Amino acid sequence: MKNKTLGQLAELVGGQVAGDPETKINAVATLEKAGNGDISFLTNQKYTNQLKTTKASAIIVAKDFKLNAKRYTLNADLLIADDPYYALSQIVVCLHGYREHPKTGISKNASIAKTATVPENCHIADCVTISENVSLGDRCFLYPNVFVGPNTKIGNDCILYPNAVIYDNCRLGNRVIIQANTTVGEDGFGFATYKGKHHKIPHIGSVIIEDDAEIGSGCGIERGTLDDTVIGTGAKIGDLVAIGHGTKIGPHCLLVAQVGISGSTTLGSYCVVGGQAGIAGHINIGNGVMIGAQSGVSNSIDSGKTVLGAPAVDAGRTRRTYVLLPRLPEMHKSIKRIQKRLDQLEKSEKS
Active-site residues: which are they?
A: 245
Q: CA dihedral defined by 297, 298, 302, 306, rounded to 10 degrees?
A: -20
- Is the sign of the CA dihedral 60, 64, 65, 67 positive or negative? positive
Query: Which one, of 129, 84, 124, lies nearest residue 104 by Cα?
Result: 124
Q: Which helix (H) or strand (E) holds 109?
A: none
Preceding omega of 102 cis (within 30 degrees of 0): no
Residue 196 carries which side chain, given as an amino acid letter? Answer: G
From CA 66, how far away is CA 78, in angstroms rounded?
11
DSSP H helical segments within the chain, as ranges? 6-13, 84-96, 315-324, 328-350
Using alpha carbons only, how large is the chain's radius of gyration in Å? 27
CA distances to 12, 49, 90, 98, 315 from 87, rounded to whole Å, are 9, 22, 5, 16, 30
From CA 41, how far away is CA 59, in angstroms rounded?
5
Give the strands of the sheet with 177-178, arranged side by side. Answer: 123-124, 141-142, 159-160, 177-178, 214-215, 236-237, 254-255, 272-273, 290-291, 306-308, 313-314
- Answer whether 269's CB lies under 8 Å from 252's CB: yes
